[in-house]
Structure 1
Amino acid sequence: MIRAKLEGVLSSLGPVTIAVSGGVDSMTLAIVANRLLGADTVNVGHAVSPAVQPEATERVRLWADREGWALLTLDAGEFGDRNYLDNPVNRCFFCKGHLYGAIARVSERQILSGANMDDLGEYRPGLDAAREVGVRHPYVEAEIDKASIRALARELGLGDLAELPASPCLSSRVETAIAIEPAMLIAIHAVEKLVGARLQPQTVRCRVRHTGVVVELDQPALAAADGDRELRAAITALLPGTLAARPVRFEAYRKGSAFVGATS
C-alpha cells in the first residue's frame, strides 16, 4: 500500500532529479523511483561539502553503482555564502537554497526531496527554500511518514539502509550564531567516530556550544563516558585552535539541542 501510493505519485511527475543526502529517506526514494522509472527518467543529485559526512557520500556512490543511478555530484557552494556561515536560526534555508539552485543549474527536470510527513511538524526553513524553487516532496504527497519509509526500505530488502540512524548534516551540531568553519566540522565528525568506536553508543552527537563542547549520548553510553578522563583528553586532542581550550562534557542526547531560537 505504501509503495503503491509512492509509485503513483512518482509516475505522475515525468523526468526528475532527486536530491539525495545519503540518509534513509532520500536514498529509499531514489531507489524506488529509479527501479520504477529507470535512469533515463531519474537523475540523482548529491552535494559534497564539509558539512556532509564522508560516509554519506560513500554510501550514495555505492548505491549509485549498485542500482545504476545517473548520479550528479555537486558543490552546492554554501560555504561561499556568509549568510550560511554565520549560522543564523534559518541556516538551513540558505543551505537548501544553494543545493536546489546547484541542481537547477545542471538539470531542467523537476527536483524532488526526501521530506516526509514528520518533517511538517518541525521548524524546517529548508522547506521554505524548496517552496521558492518548486521542489516537490513525493512522500508528503503520498502522506508517508518516517516509520513507513523504514518499513518500505525493509520491504525492498535494503538491508542496513533500512535501519540507518538519523544523522543530520554536521553543521547542525553547531549552536545557532556560532560561525560554521570547515575545520570545526571535521573535528566534530572525528569526535563522533572516536566516541562511537570506543563506547558503541546508539546515538552520539558532538555539539559545539557557546559554553563549550558537549558530547550527547544515549543513557547507557553516557553512564560509561562519565568519569572517563582518557576519553575526554582524546576528544580535546581532536579539537582545533581555540575550540581545544573549551571545556568538554557529556550529556544525555536531545534532538536538535544546538538549534536555538526557532520561530513558528
Structure 2
Amino acid sequence: LATARRVAGQIGAELVVLRTDEHTDPDYRANAGDRCYFCKRTVLAGVRDLAQRRGIAQVATGTHVDDRRAAHRPGLRAAAQLGVCEPLAAIGATKQVVRLLAAHWNLTVYDKPSTPCLASRIAVGVPVTVEALALVERAELAASGYLAECRVPVRDLRVRLLGPAGFRIELDRTALDGVCGHVRAGLLARVAQAGVGGNGDVVGYHSGALSG
C-alpha cells in the first residue's frame, strides 16, 4: 500500500483503497484450482461499482501480453466477463516494455520484483484462510530477515504451503547459491519457528509454481 501511495503521488493520481471480502467466498477459500477467478470477480466487481458511482465509463487493469500468454490465468476470465479492458495487452506491451516505460517516466517501481498475492503461495486443495495468509506473510518476513542476518542478498523469495506435504522455500538462483549447510538448516528452522509445520525444503524460485 505504501508503494501504491508513492507511485500515485508521482503520477498525480488519486488512490482509492477499496475493501473487498473475497475471503468470505467459499469457492475462493476452497482453492480448487480456479481461486483467482473468484478473487478477481469480487475485486473487479467492486471496482466497477465504484467507477459507476463516480461516473467513470471504463475500468482497466495492468494486464500485459505476457499475462495473456500464461498457461493458467483464471482471473483473466473474470475480467472479460465484467467488461474490464486491458490497454497494455491491447497494444502488445510485454512486461519488459512496461518496465521500460516505467523507467522512462522515472517511476521507482520500474524494476520491482513480481509480487503476486499471498494466496499464490498456498497449494491447490489447501484451503485459503485469513490465518493461512497471515502465516505465509509471517514466514516470508522471517525468512527474509534470516537471510539478511546471514548477508545473503535475495530478490525473489516465496514460502509455499503444501498442506500435509509440509512447505517449500523458493529463492532466486543467486540467493540459492548462498544458502548451504548451516545457513540452509537455519533458514528452515526460522520458517518453522514462524509457525509453518511439516517437512521443509529449499529450492530454486519458479513463478506460478502453485497457480490457482
Q: Which of 189, 200, 214 does residue 168 from structure 2 map onto?
A: 214
Q: Is the 8 A contact 1:209 1:258 kept in 2?
A: no
How much is the aligned-residue C-alpha RMSD, in angstroms?
Answer: 1.6
SS at match of 1:221: helix
Tell me the residue number matched to 1:70: 14
SS at match of 1:176: coil
Which amino acid counterpart does residue 220 of structure 1 have in structure 2?
Answer: T
Quote the Cα distance in structure 2 between the aligned partners of 1:69 and 1:148: 22
SS at match of 2:110: helix
Q: CA deviation at 1:64?
A: 2.5
Q: How does 1:5-84 map to 2 (within 5 A)?
A: 57-84=1-28
Quote the Cα distance in structure 1 between the aligned partners of 2:46 and 2:20: 5
**Alpha-carbon deviations, 1:147-172, whole Å to 9, x = none?**
1001101111113x100001111100
Q: CA deviation at 1:250?
A: 0.6
Q: How does 1:89-128 map to 2 (within 5 A)?
A: 89-108=33-52, 109=56, 110-122=58-70, 123-128=72-77
SS at match of 1:112: coil
Q: CA deviation at 1:91?
A: 0.7
Tell me the residue number matched to 1:173: 121
SS at match of 2:15: strand
Q: How does 1:115-194 map to 2 (within 5 A)?
A: 115-122=63-70, 123-159=72-108, 161-194=109-142
Gapped runs of 5+ residues in structure 2? none
Quote the Cα distance in structure 1 between the aligned partners of 2:197 and 2:65: 41
Quote the Cα distance in structure 2 between the aligned partners of 1:150 and 1:65: 18
Tell me the residue number matched to 1:201: 154
Which amino acid counterpart does residue 231 of structure 1 have in structure 2?
Answer: L
Quote the Cα distance in structure 1 between the aligned partners of 2:174 and 2:50: 46
Identity %: 27
Q: 1:100 to 1:245 in 2, by over 3 A?
A: closer
Which amino acid counterpart does residue 78 of structure 1 have in structure 2?
Answer: E
Quote the Cα distance in structure 2 between the aligned partners of 1:221 and 1:141: 36
**Alpha-carbon deviations, 1:85-132, whole Å to 9, x = none?**
111211111011001111122221211000011111112111110111
Tell me the residue number matched to 1:224: 178
Q: Tell me how many residue pairs correspond in the alignment.
A: 199
Q: CA deviation at 1:187?
A: 2.2
Q: CA deviation at 1:204?
A: 0.9
Q: Is the 8 A contact 2:123 2:160 kept in 1?
A: yes
Which amino acid counterpart does residue 208 of structure 2 have in structure 1?
Answer: G
SS at match of 1:102: helix
Larger proportion of strand:
1
**Alpha-carbon deviations, 1:138-193, whole Å to 9, x = none?**
0011111111001101111113x100001111100111110012222222223223
